[in-house]
Structure 1
Amino acid sequence: MDHKAKGLFFVSLMSIVWAILIIVSKLLLNKGVPVFTYLFQMVTLAAFFIFAYVVVFHRAKLCIPERSLLKYVILIALIGTAGANIVGYYGLEHSSSINYGFLVKTTVVFTVLFAHFFVGEKFNMHKAMLVLLLLLGVYLITTQGREIIPNKYDLLIVLSAFGYAFVNNISKIALRNMEPEVLSLYRLSLGALFLFLFVIFFQEGFYHVRYPFYIVVGALHMAALMLLIYKTLRITSVCYLSMMSMATPIVVTVIGIIFLNEHFSLVQAVGGFLIILSGAFIHSKNI
């Protein structure tokens, strides 16, 4: 399998895994589990799963990051696993799921801009038009064409998207000298530590485990998501990863229809078509 086909396989699998993680997270939050309790427990367990995976299958790759890479690893964990998730989930808790579902996808805008300056990926009108089409498609799927009612907490969601985009780009730099499995391990392990320092001050009872089955399922998918993100990023561009992962809302919608008896409207179908059309162009042009 060549890099192009492998990249498409990884990013497609990543979208499915991410969609399942979103569904599981929604179920737990709807059951009243405090958002930061869930986030800490899920990330901590995911770090354990990644550690077990690396020790069993990739022990030879285990290493301490070089000093030149250490700053990137710390930033990736601090911003990507702790900071962006904290502000994003806090924004979700105080905003609507419709607003969150769309605004978090503004990550693609920041990613394309950062990629131009950080890793030298060219920015042109083709990319700009594709970003607009993808955002329109995501808007139609997540909102069904309904108006988004602004909320002051929406700024936190956009800030989290900014953080995810920043981390995607510095991860690309780190992956030049680190294996995807090792970077995934450090991101989740250090991220869990940073989250612990947060929850001990701001979340009472963070150690109480409710619905352990869902926590385990969420953690497994979080661990798989990290691996797939970095395996994709290792062999493709940052823009390709971010733009192709915009298909995730389609998978979420399909899962919702099959398992949650949700409805699928014509407006959502149009949005899905725009995303698939854009994705086909992105893959064919190897953006």
Structure 2
Amino acid sequence: MITSGNKYAASLYATMSITFWGVSFVSTKAVLDKLDPFTLLVIRFGIGAVFLCILLLILNEKLTINITYIPHLIVLGILGVFIHQVIQASALLTIDASSAGWMISLSPIFTVILSMIFLHEKMTLFKAIGMILALFGVFLVTTAGSEQTFEPVLNIGYLLMLLSTLNWAIYSVLLKKLSIPLSPLVITFYMSTIGFILTFPFLIRNKGWESLSHLQTGEWAHLFFLGIFVSGVAYWYWAKALHVLEATQVSVFLYLEPLATLIAAVVLLHEKIILISVIGGIIIIIGVIFVNGQLHHVLNWFYGRNKH
């Protein structure tokens, strides 16, 4: 029986996961001044893999895997870890962390589009309205830096973030298709390890170790945060939340991620709050809620919060 205490604990786990993921854009942005994207990711994945391995040993989780699932893990690791993180880190070289946080909310839009193409899901009026709203929100976010003139900002970073959201949607669809009989924590460990292996050759090519000596305590703190809390704890807590709450209930918490990014960007990076960007971000989230048909879940979530 699921008690109210268990539900509150699960809500806390989900909130912490989203907070860590939201702040990850800020931590990545903070370190990119000293490290190239590949060196950053090598260190992050390495720290994450070691942490997760220790955690798995403490929890006595089995790491053995059937050889038939290794290709599945490699494909998921390339798409969901290597390509996804490289694209995001490259995007953050030219755009603000807060803008990246807003735009990543588009991932569910692409997931729905791919589901309609490959899974033959139907287009509805709510989905159409949601997509239009989300696209309009993206327009506002990408024009926020043009001195309020609403002229499109031709920045490769925004294009890379759009590509990132599409890539994550493809990864999500594949993750549903490929049924891997492992716990989420074990899969996360293998994903982080694959990310480390794939990015390590770029560390050698770029001689990334030479940049490590220039890192100060603050930058190392961001790296350890990315490795331990973003690559490790966040995925673990997300899985714990899913053990108690329904997937639709947990997914509502995703709408808090851009807010966490915005707050962290203002506090840690001293980014300015641009009203148009905030309005655009809110419109994106509203559009995503419509597309995913989660309006009633969101209302129930807020009603439950206010009731208590």
Shorter-chain TM band: 0.7 to 0.9
| Equivalence for 1:45 | 47
> Contact 1:244–1:282 (CA<8 Å) still a contact in 2?
no
Structure 1 pair 214/156, CA: closer, same or farther in 2 (3 Å)? closer
| Equivalence for 2:197 | 193
Q: What is the TM-score of this pair, normalised by structure 2?
A: 0.71
| Equivalence for 1:125 | 125
1:71 equivalenced with 2:71 (yes/no): yes
Q: What is the TM-score of this pair, normalised by structure 1?
A: 0.75
SS in 2 for 1:149: coil
> Contact 1:88–1:156 (CA<8 Å) still a contact in 2?
yes
RMSD, matched Cα: 3.9
Matches within 5 A, 1:85-234: 85-93=85-93, 95-97=94-96, 100-101=100-101, 103-116=103-116, 124-134=124-134, 136=136, 140=140, 144=144, 147-152=151-156, 154-174=158-178, 177-201=181-205, 203-206=206-209, 208-209=211-212, 210-211=215-216, 212-222=220-230, 223-228=232-237
> Contact 2:26–2:268 (CA<8 Å) still a contact in 1?
no
> Contact 1:247–1:276 (CA<8 Å) still a contact in 2?
no
> Contact 1:82–1:194 (CA<8 Å) still a contact in 2?
yes
**Deviation at residue 182 of structure 1 after TM alignment:** 1.0
Distance in 2, Cα, partners of 1:190 & 1:116: 30
> Contact 1:72–1:170 (CA<8 Å) still a contact in 2?
no
User: Per-residue CA shift, 1:265-285, capped at 9, x if unaligned?
Assistant: 554554565467665716258
**What residue identity is the alignment partner of 2:77?**
A
Partner of residue 254 from structure 2, selected from 237, 245, 251: 245
Distance in 1, Cα, partners of 2:90 & 2:278: 30
> Contact 1:184–1:230 (CA<8 Å) still a contact in 2?
no
Distance in 1, Cα, partners of 2:9 & 2:133: 25
| Equivalence for 1:19 | 22
User: Per-residue CA shift, 1:161-216, capped at 9, x if unaligned?
Assistant: 22222122222344663211111111111111111133323x22247532322221
**Structure 1: gaps of 5 or more residues:** none
User: Per-residue CA shift, 1:209-268, capped at 9, x if unaligned?
Assistant: 32322221221222223334555678526x974x75243221222234455555545545
**Deviation at residue 96 of structure 1 after TM alignment:** 3.0
Matches within 5 A, 1:260-275: 262-264=271-273, 266-267=275-276, 270-271=279-280, 274=283
1:254 equivalenced with 2:256 (yes/no): no
Distance in 2, Cα, partners of 1:20 & 1:221: 10
> Contact 2:80–2:167 (CA<8 Å) still a contact in 1?
yes
Distance in 2, Cα, partners of 1:62 & 1:207: 37
**Deviation at residue 158 of structure 1 after TM alignment:** 3.0
**Deviation at residue 160 of structure 1 after TM alignment:** 2.7
> Contact 2:101–2:257 (CA<8 Å) still a contact in 1?
no
Report the identity percentage.
20
> Contact 1:256–1:262 (CA<8 Å) still a contact in 2?
yes
Distance in 1, Cα, partners of 2:11 & 2:135: 20
> Contact 1:111–1:165 (CA<8 Å) still a contact in 2?
yes
| Equivalence for 2:304 | none
Distance in 2, Cα, partners of 1:4 & 1:116: 33
| Equivalence for 1:83 | 83
**Structure 2: gaps of 5 or more residues:** 301-308
**Deviation at residue 8 of structure 1 after TM alignment:** 5.7
